[in-house]
A = this chain, B = another copy of it.
Amino acid sequence: MKTARPTINDEVAAFKRARTLEAATDLFYEKGYNNSTLDDVAERLGVTKPFIYKNFGNKHMLLATICAQGIQGALGEMEAALAQNAGPAETLRIFVPRYVEAIIAAQKSIAIHIREEKNLLPEDANRLAALRQKFMGQVQGVLEAGKKAGEVDVPDPRISAFAIVGAVSWLTFWFHPEGPLSPEELTERMTAVILNLLRSGGVRLTA
Residues of A within 8 A of B (CB): 32, 34, 89, 92-93, 111, 114-115, 118, 151-156, 159-160, 162-171, 173-174, 186, 189-190, 192-205, 207
Contact = CB atoms under 8 A, between A and B. Distances in A.
Contact of A205 (B156, B162, B195): B195
Contact of A156 (B152, B168, B170, B193): B193
**Chain A contact residues, majority secondary structure:** helix
Q: How many copies does the complex hold?
A: 2
Contacts of A114: 111, 114-115, 173
Top 9 A-B residue pairs of the complex, sorted by shortest distance between their CB atoms: A166-B170, A202-B202, A163-B167, A201-B203, A197-B197, A167-B167, A199-B205, A166-B167, A159-B189
Contact of A196 (B34, B155, B194, B201): B155
Contacts of A169: 166, 170
